[in-house]
Each structure stands twice: as C-alpha cells, then as structure tokens.
Structure 1
Amino acid sequence: MRKTPPVIVLLVLLTCMAGCCTDGTVGVAGPSGDMQETSMQQCPGINVSEIPVATPELIQTNGSYIAGIALSDERAQALIRHGGKPESIAVLFHSCPRNDPYCNRNPSLVIRYGEIRLAITVDEAAGTVLGGFALVPNTPDPNKPSPTYYKIHDLSTGTDTVYLGNAPIMTYNKTALLYLNESYGYSIGAVTNPAPPLAITPVIVYTLKEAHEKFGMDLPAPSYLPDGYSFSYALQYGEPDNRTSLIYAKGKDEFHITQVPVPGNPCPGLKTTGSVGVTIDGTDGTFTPGDGENVLRWNDSHYAYCLSGTQEMNEMAAIAASVKEHAGGGIAAPI
C-alpha cells in the first residue's frame, strides 16, 4: 500500500489574489547588462534592490534581475504572501569538481520561512526559473530537543514535503506550493496578518472503495477500461471547485476522468482548438486531439465531464459511454 504523508490538506495556491500580488513590469539589467522590461508578479513591500547578494563574484548579472525572475515563480509568491521573507541571492552549490556538467552553478533567490529556506533557482542567460527546493537544517541543534526537520520526496506524486517531527510544514512540486502549515507560521512569527484563504482542498484516496466511502456514490467511474489499465487514485476538491477526479494507470501512462456539477468546467486550461464532435452513447460531446494528450468533454443532466489521456477518440468514447449518468444515487461501476 502506498505510503503518504499524514493527513495533508493540499493548497492549490492561485497566482494572484486581491491584496497579495499585483501585475507589474519592472526594468532590470538583463544578461547583456542593458536595461530590459521583465514582466513578473510583484509582491508589495519587496524591494528587490535591497535583497543582499551573498556571492556577487559568482553571478553574471545583478541581484535585482535574478530576484525579478525568481519572484515570477508561483511558489515564491505564495510563500511570501504567507509570511516568507527574501533572505539572499546566492549561488548555493559553487564548489564543483572541474568540468562537472551536473553541478548547479546557477543563482537562487532564498526565501526564509522560520528555519526552512526555499531556494528558487534561475537561469540568468535565459531569464527563466529552473526549479525550486527546500533547504532544511540537517543536524539537530544540541540546545533544542527533538523533533527535527527532514524532507521526503514522493516519487508517485512528484512532490517534496518538509516535516518538523511528524508534522508536515510545506509540500511543493515543480510549479506550485501545495500545502503550508499555518500553525507553524504563527509559531515562528511569520504569519501575523495572514493572506486571504487561497486553498482548494483536495482529499486523496487510493482505492475506489474508499473513494465511495469518502466522496459518495456519484463518482465518474467507468465500467469499461482499456487493456492493462486499473484504478490508481482519486482526488476530490471542495469549494469553489467541487471537482472529483479519478485516475487510472497502466505503468507510467495515465488517464483522468474529472467531473463537476453543471454548468462547471471540469478541465480548465486544457485546449479546445481543433475540437470535433463525437457521440457518446447518444450524448453529444467534443474530442480535442493534442500533442501527447487528448481530451474528451461531455455532459449529462447532473455533471460536466472531462476525460484526458493518450487514448484515441473511439477508445475515449467507449470509456465515457461506460460512465453511467448520475441520478443522485449509485453508479454501475465496479469497486
């Protein structure tokens, strides 16, 4: 059985909320040294020119330029909105063996949240964010009793979670800060005037039986599956999304079936260009081919659905046709 962190309420942190971030354009020195306009999300009260550069001899541009790129990252914005403080700009791993192509000589903006630091690494030449990772104290302080900090990477979800003892403090992936422990923020004094609630709170379960028990009987579970596919896990989001997703996998290949109450959009952000009409057991739908991901959309009288995966149109239509229309009760799908 897959091991997961203890009861984590994930935060899907939206990029901009009132009072947190505003769109802005700032003039900074680019890689060539010329002034250029860099569009980014600025957090009020952050003066990028005042962030100290710990390793000035190792950067190619300047601290304001590096910070401007890093602050466009959603994880950086979210942590600052919740009390994180930009601490420094530095090349963190610069003692590299000669000609080591994997050694990270790129600069990072380091944001402190209590004793945890989140480093957002940038590519100065390209003007882009390369990644982000948490730095945690790795040796116990002899003057402080346990618990201690540690970090766990979950290969199944691609997330990293920082713990203090058994308590999760933050969870993040390659693009977003998914969970932040506000109690920890209050205890360290980082959260004094908390940001507005930003969370959509998905619950994750790993069996259909548990999904039915926790989410009710109205699940978009198909009775037909392509060869080799089986149920992997389910997500349910609360207000304002009210979205439920079931994920089926065959090795590393997955397809997702998502539903929301009508007239909601079950797959926001997925392309609609190039769509063609398709009939699903007498119901009209649309099929959108994509590069590595195809999308099928349809409605019944209660829910709007989205099926996304690598399957072709006829196979997707067969899966969709086996998802029986809800009537506020059960569905004809195996547990």
Structure 2
Amino acid sequence: MTPALPQRRIGAFDVSAIGLGCMNLSHAYGQPPARDAAQALLLRALDLGVTLFDTAALYGFGSNEELVGEVLAPHRHRFTLASKCGMQGVDGTRVIDGRPATLKATCEASLKRLRTDVIDLYYLHRWDRQVPIEDSVGALADLVREGKIRAIGLSEVSAATLRRAHAVHPIAALQTEYSLWTRNPEIAVLEACRELGTTFVAFSPVGRGFLPGTLRDVSGLDAKDIRRAMPRFAPVNYAANLRLLDGLGEVAREVGCTLAQLSLAWLLARDEHIVPIPGTTHIAHLEEDLGAVDVRLNAAQMARLDTLIHRGNVAGARYNAATQTEIDTEEF
C-alpha cells in the first residue's frame, strides 16, 4: 500500500506536500544517471507516496518526458503530471518561444512522449517577452477547453505578469526558485499567489545542492553542469557561502534532522500554499527529502534561520547577466 504523505492543493488536485522535480534525471547537472537507475528512482518516489511529478519539454530536449512517460504511464491514475512549454530544444539549441502555435505544437509532442491523453498541470516555462503574456496564456486556455491540459501554470514570472495572466485564465500554480538562500519570491509573488489562490511551487528548494552541505568543492563540477555559470557557485563566492552552513547545522542538530530536511521543512512551514519539488538522482536522497514532512520547526527556530541566512549575506547572484534577461522575477 502506498504510504500517505501530507497533502497540499494545486488547483483541483490534491498532491503530496513534497513533489519530485524530474529534471536531474536527464538534464542540467552533468552526466545523468543510467536509465535503469532513473527508472528505479521514479518508481520509488511513487511507492513512497509522491503524487506530483514535474518535467518539461526542455529537459534533455524531450528525453525526460520520454522517461517519465515510459516509467509512469502504467500508473497514470496515481499521480498529478506537470510539464512545461515555451522553452525547448530546437536543433540542439535552447529556444524560448511563446507563440500560440508553438505552444500547441509542443503540447502535442509532449502528450506523445508522456504517453497520456492529458497533462494535469501545464506551465509556460518562460515568458517570451516578444509575445504578450495574454496571447500565450490564451493558447493554453484553448488547450484546457480542448481537454489536452487540465490546469495552467507559469514559471519565473513577476507578480504583475501573474495578475495579467490570471485575468485571462485562472493560474493554478506559479513555479520559481525559493529556498533559504533564494528569497526573491518574498518581494511580491508569494503575496500575489495568496491573493489569487495560486499555489507556489518551489524549485531548487535545497539550493541546487548547496544547502545539504555535501557539495564542498565546486571545482569538480562536470563541464556541462549549469551551476558553473551561476555566480553563487563561483569558487570565491561559494567558499563564502559555505560558512553560512555552520549556523544552519546547529539548528538541524537541535531539531534532529539533516540540512536538506531542515531546508524543506522551512519551506513547508512558510505557508500551506507552498509545494517544494526537490530533484535528485539518488534514492537515498529522495528518502531523506521526504522525511522533511515529519520535521517541526517552532517560531523561534524559523526566526533564527531567517537571521542566519538571508539575501544580505549570500554571496553572488542567482543567475548570470545573460540568463537574468530571460526571466521576469522581481529582484532585490
């Protein structure tokens, strides 16, 4: 019998309070795991009660959707399926394209790769600034009416863009990076989500491997690891950031959990409308992450964490200048 994890709400769906970001299994952090290992991790997540699986057309330029479809299609009734459009691989190059015709064609291709008739939650992965957000969301609304997707999400957008989109069609979820060391959503988006009834889905909730404290030396990152281009992972900045973990470790020991669990528990305690989606390639890490649902932080511990790590003492920007131009989130 599938163990029960605490549930949270995304649109019409009840999902596990912690979902699974599937990107790591095909994309972004260097050499992905072997196919059989990736398959085993997805099935283990399902067995542990994870009911939100998050993929995208971009991840592995379609191969991640193929993996998720191959492994999880036989269990389709047991989980909420999320994918994304608007950013994908074209002839080996990452392209942002929010034109309605492109989004609809991407959806058709994703449905085939995912081996399903309908995608539960379909995000606009990036807002293409050359296309009004109303036009892109209008195309997704057409897909809802056609029965090809059930709910619409947005990724890496501001509160103002969320409101414009929501005026066209209800936005069930907004996804962006949020963790102890990335606080940008606190500027405006979290409050906008509360006002509109939009669930906030937090990606990279353990800081792209920083917050668990196991990545001590960034010099050994794979040549294709996207963190190599992120200022926070530049050697000088990273060395400074590692010092922040000492204080976090003290809190984790006091609570009786790991640093990864502490980071996820902090997010879960921030608000009931937040759903973190950590990603991993290791079953042991998956099991550790899900253990965060049993961690309880009191008000004093939450305040202490906010004092120990915040935007004022994290060294380095979230993205480099080129990537920053592609996103619409508020910046400090």
Give the TM-score of the pair, scaled to structure 1.
0.26
**Looking at both structures, which has the greater relative contact order when contacts are Cα pairs under 8 Å and sequence separation is at least 6?**
2
Q: Looking at secondary structure, tell me which structure has more helix per residue.
A: 2
Which structure has the larger Rg?
1
More strand per residue: 1 or 2? 1
